[in-house]
Amino acid sequence: MDEAIPILLIPGLAGSPRIYAPVMSAIWRFGPVMVASHFRDDNMDAIARRILAEAPPRFVLAGHSMGGYIAFEIMRQAPDRIMKLALINTQARPDTPEATARRRGQIARAQTGEYHTVLDELFPGFVHPSRRDDASLRQLVHEMGDDIGADAFVRQQNAIIGRADSRSTLARINCPTLVLTGDEDNTISNSLSVEMADSIRAAKLRILPDCGHLPQVEQPQATAEAMVEWLRR
């Protein structure tokens, strides 16, 4: 490794730096690692601008789920600053009307004291079916939710609802790109990862077996290996 590469990681909805902890020891060797704060604004444009203002001049970028939506907005605003891109269990499509309605219901409930109930209801879609009774993963989801808090969860949901359709962005991405997903992601279908990988020239698709929406904690070794390979490209 001749030169350190600044690495910027963006968590997903109600996610915190804890989600990347299992892969951190594998990637920190490549350069300084920064986890973006993505919960202070309620629209993608403002979130991306704030992250860019706090980021190094050039860096590699990894976004998980909502973090991928933010990564697309960062690519629109400052493509020349991104050296490499990782899109982890995310999609380029905007919200469907059904998804927006579901999010608005979750917002209303989070605002009336049911935030942890909402997190509990989201949990089965976050993990592989074999992990739905995994108490440690459920606790992690709640701990990350507490890191963010209900008010920030509401801001994040509003940002997700208002996000742009990024499919037209895909063909303009020229940097080495990792598209990573689980074989049974019940929150964002891995068919949407295939769609992204097929549209990005320099993309490499990895579908991890026995994995849901949280590959960093469900399959940490395989996720770390995929990210190391990406960083070495």
Residue with tokens 């109600």: 14
Q: Band of the pLDDT at 3, cuts 50, 70, 90? A: confident
pLDDT tens for each residue of 4-54: 999 999 999 999 999 999 999 999 999 999 999 999 999 999 999 999 999
Query: Tens of pLDDT along 91-133?
Result: 999 999 999 999 999 999 999 999 999 999 999 999 999 999 9
Q: And the tokens for 43?
A: 């629209």
Do 180 and 89 form a contact (C-beta atoms < 8 A)? yes
DSSP state letter for 221? H
Q: Percentage of the chain with pLDDT > 90?
A: 98
Mean of the per-residue pLDDT values of the chain: 97
Reported confidence tier of residue 2, pLDDT bands at 50, 70, 90: low
Q: For the domain 7-95+157-232, what is the CATH code?
A: 3.40.50.1820
Domain ranges in the chain?
7-95+157-232
Distance from C-alpha of 119 to C-alpha of 13, rounded to nearest angstrom:
10
pLDDT tops 60 at residue 1: no
Q: What is the pLDDT of residue 89?
A: 98
Torsion of CA 180, 208, 228, 145, to 10 degrees: 70
Q: What is the DSSP string of 52-118?
A: HHHS-SSEEEEEETHHHHHHHHHHHH-GGGEEEEEEES--SS---HHHHHHHHHHHHHHTTT-HHHH
